[in-house]
Amino acid sequence: MTLPAHEMKRLRDVAGNDVELKALVGRRLAGTPLQYLEGTAAFGPLDLVVDQRVLIPRPETEQLWELAADLIAEPRRIVDLCTGSGALAIALSRSFPQAQVWGTDLSDEAIDVATLNGARYEARVEWCSGDLFAALPGELEGSIDLLVSNPPYVSDSEYADLPEDVRREPKMALVSGPTGLEVYERIAATLGTWLAPAGTFAFEIGETQADAVRRLFAAFSPEIRRDLAGRDRFVVGVKT
């Protein structure tokens, strides 16, 4: 079994010699994600550090950043729940340099990576370790203008069918629970108390979850947006 030519080229670029290249090829063939071997992943204009502590940013999440940045003109307070590598928080801090930005994650290891990436780009982001809204300072309640998230949304049963290299990424960043909707349910339960009046949210969702997510966020007149492949991929809504 051999690697595609474009993957071989990328590994040659990071290998110091033939011995290192052989080792990298072996790890790739064994299922290690290419971005982990390179040590970075592109996200729009950013080149983010990634390793086994964080989910690798996808093009769909990059589209979420672009979508969210167009939803509101001048947000003062922005929160990224389940920040992982910090991609959304950092990108939005660059889109809105006057805004205060917070990024949260249940994983202390993910927060370590996000902090490293934030420092690389001198991003003005406060990194908070903890469970969803509980990680945030209490004074933010009722004042978030823009809330984004790419939360875990894979179900337990779906996880077994994911490609080997995807299953090398942190399971807690992928799997929500038996239905895949558990994190959305928990966000929806208290979302209204954290958003400011006219506060806006934008979340990434699984392509089969649109109807369920509409019901969960019905109080916010949710809209489903599609990704570049035409699949239901995002939900957006506003507190009225």
Q: What is the pLDDT of residues 21-79, one digit of tens each?
A: 999 999 999 999 999 999 999 999 999 999 999 999 999 999 999 999 999 999 999 99
Q: Which two tokens stand for residue 161?
A: 């069918």
Q: How far apart are CA 147 and CA 78, in angstroms?
A: 6
Q: Which two tokens stand for residue 35?
A: 């971005």
155 vs 33, 123, 136, CA distance in Å? 21, 33, 26
pLDDT in tens, 142-194: 999 999 999 999 999 999 999 999 999 999 999 999 999 999 999 999 999 99
- C-alpha distance across the termini of the chain, in Å: 56
Rounded to 10 degrees, what is the CA torsion of 122, 124, 127, 132? -140
* CATH superfamily, region 52-238: Vaccinia Virus protein VP39 (3.40.50.150)
Q: What pLDDT score does 45 carry?
A: 94
The contacts of residue 13 (CB under 8 Å, 6+ apart) are 38
> Which DSSP letter does residue 54 get?
S
pLDDT in tens, 199-237: 999 999 999 999 999 999 999 999 999 999 999 999 999
Q: What pLDDT score does 114 carry?
A: 98
State phi, psi for 39 to the nearest 5 degrees.
90, -5
What residue ranges do the domains of the chain occupy? 52-238
Evaluate if residue 1 carries a pLDDT over 80: no
